[in-house]
Chains A and B, each alone.
Chain A
Amino acid sequence: MGSTEKDTTTLIDVTKFDTSDYKSARKNAPKSPRSTTGPIKAWETDPNFKYEVQRQPGGKDLLYCYQCSTCTLSCPIREINPDFNPRRIIEMAVLGMKEEILSSEEIWICASCQTCYERCPQNVKFSEVIGAIKNVAMKEAQEGNIEITSKKPGFDGSFMRMIEMFGRLYEPGLLMDFLLLKNKDFNGLFGYMPLGINMFKKGKIAFFPSKIKGMDCIKNIFEKLEEE
């Protein structure tokens, strides 16, 4: 629903040019404000960052990368946005460029297509590694060390809140929580109305939420496991 002009979560305004030709995408794309071009000073990096990522579930094979480019060449997101370069993200993590990675927009736009996981010869499992990096990012944001501008963690949070409350996804609640409460995005919310009404008419979504019976279990899951 044509609300992409208001869509502030991405760097590149994809409507402005033909993204099937990523060469032109590259030309017109503004440089990511996070990637500086000055020298990387090893003594200013965080050598523990790579081990921190390793400690997260999914991140343990990050160090085996030998920069072959398989993941980058297979990534559908990279095809659209040259700034999302999985191989480079790994190298930056290995070099300890913690601040740069965690505050970047790029780490949030992985589509979880698993193609990198599938093809990586060294079993680095990038789709899991980036999950680990996102975990670190969220922890750091919680502690107030960094600021995340991407909307994705917010969306994930809203999604999880719905499950925590009802055990199943309550779509209208999700929209309310994410667009309205978190982002004050009235336009966005209205933009979803036509689709929402259509789906409701076709019986695909419910108007009112209903909780599942095993809510105790769900409560336990969120209370006890989310802190990890």
Chain B
Amino acid sequence: MEEEATPQEVVTEEVVPEQETAEAAPEKTTPQEVTRETAAPVGTVEQGAVAVIGGGVAGIISALDLVDSGFKVYLIDRGASIGGKMSQLAECVTGIMPMMVELETNPDVELLTLSEVTSISGSQGNFELEVARNPRYVDELRCTGCAQCIEACPESIPDRFNFGLTNRKVIDFSHSQPVPNVPAIERDHCPPDCRKCVEVCTADAIKLEDKETKAKITVGSIILSPGYEPFDPSIWARYKLGNPSVVTSLEFERMLSSAAGSGKLLKPDGSEAKKIAFIQCIGSRDPHVGNELCSTVCCMYTAKEAKRAAELNPDLDISIFYMDVRTFGRDEHVVKQIGKKYGVKYIRSRVPEIIEKGDELQLRYEDPENDEMVDEEFDLVVLAIGLLPPDSIQRMAEIAGVELDSFGYFKTELENPMDTSVPGIYVCGTAKAPMPIMDSTSWASGAAARAGSIIAQQRLVKPTSPIEAEGAGGRPKIGVFLCRCGDSISGVIDIDSLATHIERLPDVAYVDASATTCKDAAEAIRSAVKEHGLNRVVLAGCTPRIYELHFRKLCEEIGINPYLFEMANIREQCAWVHADNPDAAFEKAEELIRMSVARAGYLDALTVKRVPVVDSVLVLGGGITGMTAALEVAEQGYKTCIVEREEGLGGVLNDIGVLQDGRRASELLSEFRGKIDESELITVFTRSELVDLAGSAGNFTGTVKIPDSTEELKFGAVIVATGAEEFKPTGIYGYGERPNVVTQLEFEKLLDQGISPGTVAMIQCVGAMDDEREYCGRICCGTAVKNALRLKGSSPETEVYVLGRDVRTYGIWESMYRDARGKGVIFLRHDANKKPSFDGEILSTQDMMLNREVQIKPDYIVLSTPMVPRSDSETVAEILNISTDDYGFFVEEALRPKVKMRPLDSASAGVFLAGSALYRPRMIDECVAQGSGAAARALTLISKPFVEVEAATSVVDEELCAGCGTCVSVCPFGAVELRELVEDVNTFGLVSDAKREVAEVSERCKGCGLCASYCPSDAMSVNHFKDRQIFAQIEVVM
């Protein structure tokens, strides 16, 4: 079914005039305001710049937040491509790819790869860096990425990216989708006088005579994010690293990565793995080998790797040998799940040696319950290696003049976790302490906020004008671009053959099948649209979830309305899921593209509305997280309001006596309170609550109930830092009845009084990790250790027992755990099913390691309970239009992989989350980092003059609308309301000023389509998803 010409629907909206903008802006006389009021600010202010040293995930996120807030970034990395360790992890590369591509194409980012900083001079606001640029031997500007040089290269070397499991050529890409997408040459390995690559290069891009060059850059602040060094277990002969069936976890990630393609998990020798053992804590918690700390992430990544392996082959027999399981929050669920679903065994015993028995590997472990030593054979052993400070950290610390702490990481303070000892130089990621990706990214946002505060006056805000929906101009001329995606698509689907099919489709004016990467595709689109005068673009490649936004921006740049762009997913939905049936994959791909082409013919240009932003922030919650967020925003020159429910600021910290570094919490709090009092930009409402929130990102109106009345506040973003509270386990172990049974917070108060009891017993996991609350409270073991140490310090004769299932003192807390043991604190382990019991006099526990009952007569029992959400978190969530999980914690936008990269964003645009309220009770430095991080996220929104409103939203045909109100009741976002329409109606005569009700869609609309599908009059439809567009898709494949 074809139509001759597509009717153009031009939706016109009024562009908000300039004077309204000025009214909404606060009184300020900073150059930033000047930028806002004049039409073209370029050139009035020199744009502030930040140097980010280290291009792994932390550096990348910092860089993105900075350029998104109006600054320039120099992203410096040692390797030939940015991406760091994350690009080596099995599936993580898909998460980081879009961010890497965005950095590559953003004009405010300068990528300095193969570069190392050799000196830093100056001070905050004005640093001068000297950068040594190692030669790539390939000209980045000329290279087209055709890869002919690689084919022609005669010499192979082990591929470091794959840990030597495979080979690469001397000239090669560092991995399959590098940024920049240009190969590099390992010059030392070139055969003498060989010039094969030069000979085949048609772009004359290879420069074998290149030498090291030097660059000088001037920046206002610096972020250090060099990442970590994985522990090398080959120092121990007893782990038989020489055996190909013994691998490290990173090597295993590469094995899992290649298994994703083939569907089989193969050992390095090519055979299929059947029985796998994971050995935890290799190189961690081991002062003997020089690393006292717990690497925090290994238990979780092992659970993930085991899960991944089991998903590939459910028949795999997997055992995990551990000492303590450190999986926190809802990650605990994964551990349970792999046990139940795939039979993965967790065995508590360290394994000190691997014995080679023929083809198999023999592990010996202890079973204390049966007092046995068991020998078991496996065919693959994975060593869960720990994270160490990066090998470059000493040199970097010297060059930057920053201090390192006693563990070899960059030294920071508890309340300033991203600030190094040099003002203006900040740190984030695993160079600060071992941490998972989700924490690296939130700290990275925090570092961006810190770095931005130095150059806040030099923010360059580019004015953007709304996109008019111009007519798409006559007959559709569709350009179809096929991407090979490395060879992950073209390996299964014959792209060239597909192209010939596509060429025959109606309205297709041009087909390009050359692109192998997103960048190629972008280039192809750019040149073809111009050359062939295309007016619609269809991209057949990966999932639109990752790249649609990116390509829409590209269309905007080259003059095509972004809503005339359509994507067909032939990767996830065809090549990947039907990898074992290429014919079916081909057919499906062809159909999907056909559908997209048909739809493209009916697409309308839409206006992208841009609404002026209110450049202030509302912070909900005045605890340490909220205070940090407010201070951070204020430091960059924006107004914030803190809304706090209690009498005063401070939150849970008010109840804590002494912090882990020995200082009193009240000291810290008065510092923060002092800074807030001093700041002119922060308004504090105590004994107040937010009762309503209207509007959308950039333009919120909040109703706050203050002690005697209500206030209406206008702001652009919300930061939710409402925290959590300690669970009070009434009835458990006599809590609430017996005065000597207390919680940890209550015990802190007793310690302040200076008690000196004979015996104290602490019981862990009370009210957590059970049927009622499955999650691990994360901070309770650390808190118990802290309090036990404090007690032993003030009263050494007191006998302190800690009864737990595991001891989950992660990261630096492991060092405190060791100290506690050294002072004589006794840790007794019990099984989850055999909890300790108390009859009022005797506390009895079944000690797993001695396999005997131990009885204690404690003077105090301290119960370590988890933090639980505030009782009204559900209500708050509803007001804010965000979701909560089963327990009531707020949930971030759970879309993977975005959740790892943007852990502080909620599903509601403009609402950011931080601190313990966000499903992971946190230590103080983590809370502060998140507070700063949320501030950075909010700043990316409010630092821009406009916020873009989603154009693919619902639209009402007022003539058809009967005002029934069905749409209003089904809308989950509260985005539709009925309004009164006054018009002249002609029915049996003219009726003037007849009133009726019609629906009106507000900016809250997300385009979900519920209203349109329910509307009985067909008056409601969704832009970009009109009936005829959808019918076209369906009919073309029927």
Interface residues in chain A, defined as those with a beta carbon under 8 Å from any beta carbon in chain B: 22-23, 26, 37-43, 47, 50-51, 63-70, 72-74, 78-79, 82, 85, 87-88, 91-92, 94-95, 119-123
Residues from chain B with a CB closer than 8 A to the CB of A72 are 366, 373
Report the nearest B residue to A22, measured CB to CB: B373
Q: State the CA gap A70–B410 with chains docked (Å).
A: 32
What distance in Å separates the Cβ of A135 from its nearest Cβ neighbour in chain B? 20
* B496-504, B637-645, B824-832 - interface stretch: B824-832
Decide if B352 touches A39 in the complex (CB within 8 Å).
no
Residues from chain B with a CB closer than 8 A to the CB of A26 are 371-372
Decide if B849 touches A91 in the complex (CB within 8 Å).
yes
Residues from chain B with a CB closer than 8 A to the CB of A68 are 323, 349-350
Which residues 825-846 in B have Cβ within 8 Å of A in the complex?
A: 826-827, 829, 844
Contact of A121 among B285, B844, B850, B853 (CB under 8 A): B285
Decide if A88 touches B849 in the complex (CB within 8 Å).
yes
Residues from chain B with a CB closer than 8 A to the CB of A95 are 826, 850, 854
Residues from chain A with a CB closer than 8 A to the CB of B286 are 121-122
Decide if B350 touches A39 in the complex (CB within 8 Å).
no
What distance in Å separates the Cβ of A55 from its nearest Cβ neighbour in chain B? 13
Decide if B821 touches A66 in the complex (CB within 8 Å).
yes
Q: State the CA gap A69–B286 with chains docked (Å).
A: 14
Interface centre among B286, B287, B352 (most CB of A within 10 A): B352
Contact of B857 among A42, A66, A94 (CB under 8 A): A42
Q: State the CA gap A79–B374 with chains docked (Å).
A: 11
Closest 5 CB pairs of A and B: A121-B286, A39-B853, A68-B350, A69-B366, A42-B856
Decide if B857 touches A43 in the complex (CB within 8 Å).
yes
The answer, yes or no, to whether B364 is at the interface (CB within 8 Å) is yes
Q: State the CA gap A106–B264 with chains docked (Å).
A: 50
Which residues 851-871 in B have Cβ within 8 Å of A in the complex?
A: 852-857
Decide if B855 touches A94 in the complex (CB within 8 Å).
no
Q: State the CA gap A85–B824 with chains docked (Å).
A: 21
What distance in Å separates the Cβ of B685 from its nearest Cβ neighbour in chain A? 48
The answer, yes or no, to whether B799 is at the interface (CB within 8 Å) is yes
What distance in Å separates the Cβ of A227 from its nearest Cβ neighbour in chain B? 28
What distance in Å separates the Cβ of A17 from its nearest Cβ neighbour in chain B? 17
Residues from chain A with a CB closer than 8 A to the CB of B852 are 37, 39-40
Interface centre among B281, B350, B365, B817 (most CB of A within 10 A): B350
The answer, yes or no, to whether B759 is at the interface (CB within 8 Å) is yes
What distance in Å separates the Cβ of B855 from its nearest Cβ neighbour in chain A? 5
Decide if B850 touches A64 in the complex (CB within 8 Å).
no
The answer, yes or no, to whether B139 is at the interface (CB within 8 Å) is no
Contact of B373 among A51, A64, A78, A120 (CB under 8 A): A78
Residues from chain A with a CB closer than 8 A to the CB of B822 are 63-64
Decide if B352 touches A119 in the complex (CB within 8 Å).
yes
What distance in Å separates the Cβ of A98 from its nearest Cβ neighbour in chain B? 14
Q: A63-B821, A68-B323, A82-B371 are in contact. Are A91 and B352 (CB under 8 A)?
A: no
Residues from chain A with a CB closer than 8 A to the CB of B799 are 42, 47
Contact of B829 among A40, A67, A70, A122 (CB under 8 A): A67
Q: State the CA gap A109–B887 with chains docked (Å).
A: 55
Q: State the CA gap A94–B849 with chains docked (Å).
A: 13
The answer, yes or no, to whether B818 is at the interface (CB within 8 Å) is yes
Contact of B855 among A23, A40, A82 (CB under 8 A): A40
The answer, yes or no, to whether B899 is at the interface (CB within 8 Å) is no
What distance in Å separates the Cβ of B380 from its nearest Cβ neighbour in chain A? 20
Q: List 12 A-B contacts (CB under 8 A).
A: A22-B373, A26-B371, A40-B855, A42-B801, A51-B824, A66-B821, A67-B829, A73-B351, A73-B364, A79-B373, A121-B286, A122-B287
Known: A43-B857, A66-B285. 13 other contacts (CB 8 A): A40-B855, A41-B855, A63-B822, A64-B822, A69-B368, A73-B350, A78-B373, A79-B373, A88-B850, A95-B826, A120-B288, A122-B286, A123-B287
Residues from chain A with a CB closer than 8 A to the CB of B351 are 73
Decide if B366 touches A123 in the complex (CB within 8 Å).
no
Residues from chain A with a CB closer than 8 A to the CB of B238 are 119
Residues from chain A with a CB closer than 8 A to the CB of B366 are 69, 72-73, 87
The answer, yes or no, to whether B289 is at the interface (CB within 8 Å) is yes
Report the nearest A residue to B807, measured CB to CB: A66
Report the nearest B residue to A41, measured CB to CB: B855
Report the nearest B residue to A69, measured CB to CB: B366
Decide if B850 touches A65 in the complex (CB within 8 Å).
no
Q: State the CA gap A183–B1022 with chains docked (Å).
A: 100
The answer, yes or no, to whether B353 is at the interface (CB within 8 Å) is yes
Residues from chain A with a CB closer than 8 A to the CB of B853 are 38-40
Report the nearest A residue to B368, measured CB to CB: A69
Contact with A along B800-823 (1 / 0, CB 8 A): 010000010000000001100111
Report the nearest A residue to B758, measured CB to CB: A43
Q: State the CA gap A85–B366 with chains docked (Å).
A: 11
Q: State the CA gap A41–B821 with chains docked (Å).
A: 20
Report the nearest B residue to A90, measured CB to CB: B849
Q: A39-B853, A41-B855, A122-B288 are in contact. Are A73 and B349 (CB under 8 A)?
A: yes
Decide if A121 touches B854 in the complex (CB within 8 Å).
no
Decide if A23 touches B372 in the complex (CB within 8 Å).
yes
Decide if B288 touches A92 in the complex (CB within 8 Å).
no
What distance in Å separates the Cβ of B761 from its nearest Cβ neighbour in chain A? 9
Contact of B353 among A74, A79, A120 (CB under 8 A): A74
What distance in Å separates the Cβ of B487 from its nearest Cβ neighbour in chain A? 44
What distance in Å separates the Cβ of A52 from its nearest Cβ neighbour in chain B? 12
What distance in Å separates the Cβ of A58 from its nearest Cβ neighbour in chain B? 16
What distance in Å separates the Cβ of B350 from its nearest Cβ neighbour in chain A? 4
Q: State the CA gap A72–B372 with chains docked (Å).
A: 11
Q: A47-B799, A73-B349, A123-B287 are in contact. Are A67 and B372 (CB under 8 A)?
A: no
What distance in Å separates the Cβ of A115 from its nearest Cβ neighbour in chain B? 9
Residues from chain B with a CB closer than 8 A to the CB of A94 are 826
What distance in Å separates the Cβ of B825 from its nearest Cβ neighbour in chain A? 9
Q: State the CA gap A82–B374 with chains docked (Å).
A: 12
Decide if B287 touches A121 in the complex (CB within 8 Å).
yes
Report the nearest B residue to A119, measured CB to CB: B352
Q: State the CA gap A95–B845 with chains docked (Å).
A: 13
Residues from chain B with a CB closer than 8 A to the CB of A85 are 371
Q: A63-B821, A66-B821 are in contact. Are A73 and B854 (CB under 8 A)?
A: no
Q: State the CA gap A37–B350 with chains docked (Å).
A: 26
Q: State the CA gap A105–B849 with chains docked (Å).
A: 21
Decide if A42 touches B854 in the complex (CB within 8 Å).
yes
Residues from chain A with a CB closer than 8 A to the CB of B818 are 64, 66, 122
What distance in Å separates the Cβ of A104 from its nearest Cβ neighbour in chain B? 14
Contact with A along B267-297 (1 / 0, CB 8 A): 0000000000000010001111100000000
What distance in Å separates the Cβ of B372 from its nearest Cβ neighbour in chain A? 7
Q: State the CA gap A72–B365 with chains docked (Å).
A: 9
Q: State the CA gap A123–B287 with chains docked (Å).
A: 7
Decide if B850 touches A92 in the complex (CB within 8 Å).
yes
Contact of A73 among B288, B352, B824, B856 (CB under 8 A): B352
Decide if B323 touches A66 in the complex (CB within 8 Å).
yes
Q: State the CA gap A43–B852 with chains docked (Å).
A: 16
Contact with A along B227-239 (1 / 0, CB 8 A): 0000000000010
Decide if B856 touches A87 in the complex (CB within 8 Å).
no
Q: State the CA gap A208–B852 with chains docked (Å).
A: 54
Report the nearest A residue to B761, measured CB to CB: A42
Decide if B850 touches A70 in the complex (CB within 8 Å).
no
Decide if A66 touches B855 in the complex (CB within 8 Å).
no
Residues from chain A with a CB closer than 8 A to the CB of B854 are 39-40, 42, 95
Decide if A39 touches B373 in the complex (CB within 8 Å).
no
Interface centre among A42, A50, A91 (most CB of B within 10 A): A42
Q: State the CA gap A121–B818 with chains docked (Å).
A: 12
Interface centre among A64, A73, A120 (most CB of B within 10 A): A73
Residues from chain B with a CB closer than 8 A to the CB of A120 are 288
Residues from chain A with a CB closer than 8 A to the CB of B288 are 119-123
Residues from chain A with a CB closer than 8 A to the CB of B364 are 73
What distance in Å separates the Cβ of B354 from its nearest Cβ neighbour in chain A? 12
Report the nearest B residue to A85, measured CB to CB: B371
Decide if A121 touches B289 in the complex (CB within 8 Å).
yes
Q: State the CA gap A26–B374 with chains docked (Å).
A: 13
Residues from chain A with a CB closer than 8 A to the CB of B856 are 42-43
